[in-house]
C-alpha cells in the first residue's frame, strides 16, 4: 500500500507539471489560420499564449523543433455518426460493400449468425440499394432462410432505410395488422404483407424496440472510442456527433463524458439531441449545462426531409419517380401543432437552443428559412446557431438569405457526397446536376463548414486530405461541381466549422484560443488534387486543449 501511495503521488505531480506546461514550436510552417503563418507558437496549458516569442526568455518551456513540418489549426467534422456507427460496427455485421444484392446480405448474415447464440439479436449497417421500394417478400424470404431464430435489424448506408427479418418483426411486436407508418415514413408491403423494409420515419418503432432491449453499453463505448481514435489520427480535433438518425435516437452522451474522465477521449465531441417535434425542443433544452472541456452539448437535431440517396428530399419539383419527397415536419398546424416547423424553430430560440436540420431538398431548406423569418418577426432577432446539413438543392436565392443571417444560419456540407451520390438521375432527372453546388455557396458568402456524415461517407472518404482532394478536383467532374480552393477547404474544416459548432474558442490558433492543432509532415498548401490523393500530408500528432492526444 505504501508503494501505491508513492506512485499516486508521483502521478499527481506529473499531472500538475503537465497542466502548467509551456511548449514552443519552432522551425515549421505554422499556420494560425487559413492565411497567416508565424515563426513560432507558444502554448501554455490549454491555450495559445503568444506567437513569435523570444525563445530564450522561456527557459522552462519545452521547445519542439518541427524541422520543417507544418502545423494547422485542428480540423473539425461538423456532422457525423461515430456513436451509432461505432456501436453497430462493434457488435454487428459490416455490409458496407454490399450493393443491390440480397444474396450477399444473406451470406454475410449467415457467417455472423454461425458465431452467435440462438435467438441473439443481430445488427448490421452499410448495405445499399438503388431502389428501396423494390424490397419484396422474396427478398425477405432469402434473409429469413439464414436467420430463422435470430431477430435481425440492418440499417442501410444512409441510415434512412431499415430492414428487419420476420423474427425481428416478431421481436418488435410488429404485424401486418398493427403497423402504421409514421408521418414522414413509409414501409414496403406486398399484398398487404410487410416485407421488412421500413423507410425514413417508419424506422422509429423497430429501432426503438431493438435498441431498448439490446444493451451492451460497454461495446457501444468501445465502438465509439475506436472511431474517435481513428478521427484523431487523421487530424480531427473536434466532431459534432448526431447520436441519432431519422427514425431513432441513440442517445448516449455519457459515453463521451466517461471517456474524457478516463483520459481516453482524443477529440472534442459536440453532441446533439435528435428530436421530432416541439416537445423534443423542450426535452433538449433540459440537457444544457453539463459541458466539460472536451464534451459539449450542441443542441437539437431535426429531420426536415428524407435522404437524397433514397430519393426522398423534399423539393418544389416533382421527382422522376413521382412525388416531392418525404417531409418530416409541416409549415402549419395541419397535422398537429407539434409538427409545425415554425413553432419548433420559435421554441428553440425561446429556449436558447442551437438547431441542426437535415435539409436536402429546396423545399425543406425553404421551410427552415421561412420558420427562421417567422421567428425573427416574433422575437426581433435570431440569436442561436442554426445549421442546415447537406443542402443538396440549395437555390441561389436561398444562399443569399442564409448569407444575410451573418453566421447565425450556417451550412455543413459533405464534398464526398458529390462522388458517392453522383448517379441519381432515376430520382432527380434534370435536377441531379444542380446538387451540392458548394463553390456557389462560398461565393454567395454562406458560412460553409465541412463534414463527413460518416457512415454515409465510406471510411476511405473521411480523411480531411481525401475530402480536400474531392473538393479541389470538383469530385473529378468539374463541369458539374466547380472546384474549391485549398483555402476554402481549410477554412471549411477550421474557422467556418467553429461557427457551425457555435464555439468561438476553437477554429484558429490566435492568442487566447484553445491549443487544438495537428502536426503534419508537410503543408497542405501548394498540393494539387492529385498530390493530395497520391501522397497526402501525414498527420504526425494531434493536440487538443494543449495536450498531445495522438
Ligand atoms: Zn447524418
Instruction: Give the model confidence (pLDDT) of 157-174 as tens digits.
Output: 888 999 999 999 999 999
Å from CA of 81 to ligand 1 middle: 6
Residue with cell 472510442: 225
Cell readout for 63 is 521547445
Q: Alpha-carbon distance 435 to 433, whole Å? A: 5
Å from CA of 526 to ligand 1 middle: 32
Instruction: Give the model confidence (pLDDT) of 71-121 as tens digits.
Output: 999 999 999 999 989 988 888 899 988 999 999 999 999 999 999 999 999
Distances (CA, A) of 108 to 142, 143, 211: 12, 10, 21
Q: Which of 82-96, 126-140, 381-395 has the lowest mean pLDDT?
A: 82-96
Total residues belonging to the chain? 550
Å from CA of 499 to ligand 1 middle: 18
Q: Which of 122-131, 160-169, 498-507 has the lowest mean pLDDT?
A: 122-131
Å from CA of 359 to ligand 1 middle: 10
Å from CA of 453 to ligand 1 middle: 5
Contacts of 383 (CB under 8 A, 6+ apart): 349, 352, 408
Å from CA of 157 to ligand 1 middle: 10
Å from CA of 46 to ligand 1 middle: 31
Q: Is 247 or 419 the better-scoring residue by pLDDT?
A: 419
What's the pLDDT at 3? 38
pLDDT average, residue stretch 423-430? 86
Instruction: Give the model confidence (pLDDT) of 404-415 as tens digits.
Output: 999 999 999 999
pLDDT band at 7 (very low <50, low <70, confident <90, very high): very low
Q: What's the DSSP call for residue 128?
A: B
CA-CA-CA-CA torsion sign (438, 442, 447, 449): positive
Contacts of 423 (CB under 8 A, 6+ apart): none
Instruction: Give the model confidence (pLDDT) of 312-321 as tens digits.
Output: 999 999 999 8
Å from CA of 470 to ligand 1 middle: 19
H or E element, residue 193: strand 193-200
Percent of the chain with pLDDT over 90: 83
- Look at strands 37-38 and 29-31 and give their pairing: antiparallel
- φ/ψ of 384, rounded to 5, equals -85, 175
184 pLDDT higher than 90: no
Å from CA of 79 to ligand 1 middle: 6
Strand ranges (E), 230-359: 236-241, 268-274, 295-303, 354-359
What's the pLDDT at 9? 39
Within a 10 A sphere around the Cβ of 9, how many other Cβ atoms?
10
pLDDT band at 19 (very low <50, low <70, confident <90, very high): very low
Å from CA of 146 to ligand 1 middle: 31
Which among 248, 311, 307, 250 is positioned nearest to 82, based on CA atoms?
250
What's the pLDDT at 311? 87
Q: Alpha-carbon distance 71 to 515, whole Å? A: 11
What's the pLDDT at 14? 41
386 pLDDT higher than 90: yes
Do 312 and 290 meet the contact criterion of CB atoms below 8 Å apart?
no
15 pLDDT higher than 50: no
Instruction: Give the model confidence (pLDDT) of 225-264 as tens digits.
Output: 999 999 999 999 999 999 988 877 888 999 999 999 999 9
What's the pLDDT at 90? 84
Å from CA of 324 to ligand 1 middle: 21
Specify which residues 127 forms β-bridges with. Answer: 156
pLDDT band at 20 (very low <50, low <70, confident <90, very high): low
Å from CA of 245 to ligand 1 middle: 7
What's the pLDDT at 245? 83
Planar angle of CA 215, 216, 218, nearest 5 degrees: 140
Domain boundaries, the chain: 2-68, 89-214
Å from CA of 389 to ligand 1 middle: 8
Instruction: Give the model confidence (pLDDT) of 442-452 as tens digits.
Output: 999 999 999 99
Do 180 and 201 meet the contact criterion of CB atoms below 8 Å apart?
no
Å from CA of 512 to ligand 1 middle: 32
Domain 89-214: CATH class, spelled out: alpha beta
Distances (CA, A) of 193 to 137, 156, 164, 196, 381: 8, 21, 13, 9, 50
What's the pLDDT at 10? 41
What's the pLDDT at 13? 40
Å from CA of 369 to ligand 1 middle: 20
Q: Alpha-carbon distance 338 to 317, whole Å? A: 26
pLDDT band at 309 (very low <50, low <70, confident <90, very high): confident
Q: Alpha-carbon distance 370 to 394, whole Å? A: 14
Q: What is the DSSP string of 218-232?
A: HHHHHHHHHHHHHHH
Å from CA of 456 to ligand 1 middle: 7
Å from CA of 455 to ligand 1 middle: 8
Å from CA of 52 to ligand 1 middle: 41
> Which of 2.30.40, 3.10.620, 3.40.50, 2.40.160 is the CATH number of 2-68?
2.30.40
Å from CA of 158 to ligand 1 middle: 8
Å from CA of 194 to ligand 1 middle: 27
Specify which residues 50 forms β-bridges with. Answer: 42
Å from CA of 355 to ligand 1 middle: 14
Q: What's the DSSP call for residue 456?
A: T
8 pLDDT higher than 60: no
Within a 10 A sphere around the Cβ of 170, how many other Cβ atoms?
12
Q: What's the DSSP call for residue 111?
A: H
Residue with cell 425543406: 364
pLDDT average, residue stretch 477-481? 93
Cell readout for 38 is 508565424
Å from CA of 467 to ligand 1 middle: 16
What's the pLDDT at 212? 82
Å from CA of 348 to ligand 1 middle: 20
Secondary structure class of 249 (helix, strand, coil)? strand
Å from CA of 193 to ligand 1 middle: 30
Instruction: Give the model confidence (pLDDT) of 334-359 as tens digits.
Output: 999 999 999 999 999 999 999 999 99
Amino acid at each position: 500500500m505504501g508503494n501505491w501511495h508513492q506512485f499516486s503521488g508521483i502521478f499527481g505531480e506529473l499531472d500538475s507539471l503537465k497542466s502548467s506546461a509551456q511548449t514552443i514550436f519552432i522551425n515549421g510552417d505554422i499556420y494560425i489560420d487559413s492565411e497567416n503563418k508565424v515563426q513560432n507558437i507558444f502554448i501554455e496549458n490549454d491555450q495559445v499564449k503568444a506567437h513569435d516569442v523570444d525563445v530564450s526568455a522561456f527557459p522552462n518551456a519545452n521547445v519542439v523543433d518541427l524541422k520543417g513540418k507544418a502545423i494547422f489549426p485542428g480540423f473539425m467534422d461538423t456532422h457525423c455518426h461515430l456513436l451509432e456507427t461505432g456501436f453497430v460496427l462493434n457488435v454487428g455485421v459490416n455490409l458496407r460493400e454490399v450493393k443491390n444484392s440480397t444474396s450477399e446480405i444473406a451470406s454475410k448474415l449467415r457467417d455472423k449468425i454461425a458465431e452467435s447464440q440462438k435467438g441473439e439479436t443481430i445488427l448490421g449497417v452499410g448495405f445499399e440499394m438503388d431502389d428501396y421500394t423494390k424490397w419484396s417478400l422474396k427478398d425477405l424470404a432469402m434473409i429469413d432462410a439464414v436467420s430463422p431464430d435470430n431477430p435481425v435489424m440492418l440499417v442501410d448506408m444512409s441510415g434512412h432505410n431499415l430492414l428487419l427479418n420476420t423474427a425481428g418483426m416478431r421481436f418488435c411486436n410488429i404485424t401486418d395488422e398493427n403497423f402504421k407508418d409514421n408521418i414522414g415514413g413509409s414501409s414496403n408491403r406486398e399484398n398487404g404483407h410487410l416485407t421488412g423494409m421500413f423507410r425514413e420515419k417508419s424506422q422509429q418503432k423497430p429501432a426503438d424496440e431493438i435498441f431498448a432491449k439490446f444493451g451492451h453499453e460497454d461495446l457501444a463505448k468501445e465502438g465509439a472510442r475506436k472511431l474517435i481514435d481513428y478521427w484523431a489520427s487523421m487530424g480531427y480535433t473536434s466532431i459534432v456527433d448526431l447520436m441519432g438518425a431519422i427514425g431513432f435516437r441513440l442517445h448516449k452522451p455519457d459515453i463521451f463524458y466517461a471517456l474524457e474522465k478516463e483520459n481516453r477521449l482524443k477529440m472534442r465531441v459536440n453532441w446533439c439531441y435528435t428530436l421530432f417535434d416541439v416537445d423534443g425542443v423542450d426535452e433538449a433544452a433540459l440537457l444544457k449545462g453539463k459541458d466539460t472541456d472536451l464534451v459539449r452539448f450542441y443542441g437539437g437535431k431535426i429531420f426536415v426531409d428524407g435522404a437524397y440517396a433514397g430519393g426522398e428530399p423534399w423539393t418544389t419539383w416533382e421527382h422522376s419517380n413521382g412525388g416531392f419527397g418525404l417531409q418530416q415536419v409541416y409549415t402549419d398546424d395541419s397535422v398537429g401543432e407539434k409538427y409545425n416547423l415554425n413553432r419548433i424553430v420559435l421554441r428553440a430560440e425561446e429556449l436558447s437552443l442551437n438547431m441542426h436540420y437535415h435539409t436536402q431538398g429546396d423545399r425543406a431548406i425553404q421551410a427552415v428559412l421561412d420558420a427562421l423569418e417567422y421567428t425573427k418577426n416574433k422575437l426581433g432577432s435570431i440569436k442561436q446557431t442554426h445549421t442546415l446539413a447537406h443542402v443538396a438543392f440549395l437555390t441561389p436565392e436561398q444562399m443569399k438569405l442564409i448569407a444575410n443571417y451573418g453566421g447565425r444560419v450556417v451550412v455543413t456540407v459533405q464534398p464526398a457526397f458529390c462522388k458517392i451520390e453522383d448517379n441519381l438521375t432515376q430520382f432527380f432527372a434534370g435536377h441531379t446536376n444542380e446538387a451540392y453546388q458548394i463553390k456557389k455557396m462560398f461565393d454567395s458568402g454562406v458560412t460553409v463548414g465541412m463534414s463527413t456524415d460518416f457512415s454515409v461517407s465510406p471510411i476511405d472518404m473521411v480523411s480531411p486530405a481525401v475530402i480536400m482532394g474531392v473538393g479541389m478536383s470538383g469530385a473529378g467532374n468539374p463541369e458539374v461541381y466547380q472546384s474549391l480552393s485549398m483555402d476554402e477547404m481549410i477554412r471549411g474544416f477550421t474557422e467556418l466549422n467553429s461557427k457551425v459548432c457555435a464555439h468561438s474558442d476553437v477554429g484558429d490558433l490566435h492568442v487566447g484560443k484553445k491549443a487544438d492543432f495537428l502536426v503534419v509532415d508537410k503543408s497542405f498548401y501548394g498540393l494539387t488534387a492529385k498530390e493530395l490523393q497520391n501522397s497526402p500530408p501525414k498527420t504526425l500528432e494531434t493536440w487538443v486543449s494543449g495536450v498531445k492526444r495522438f
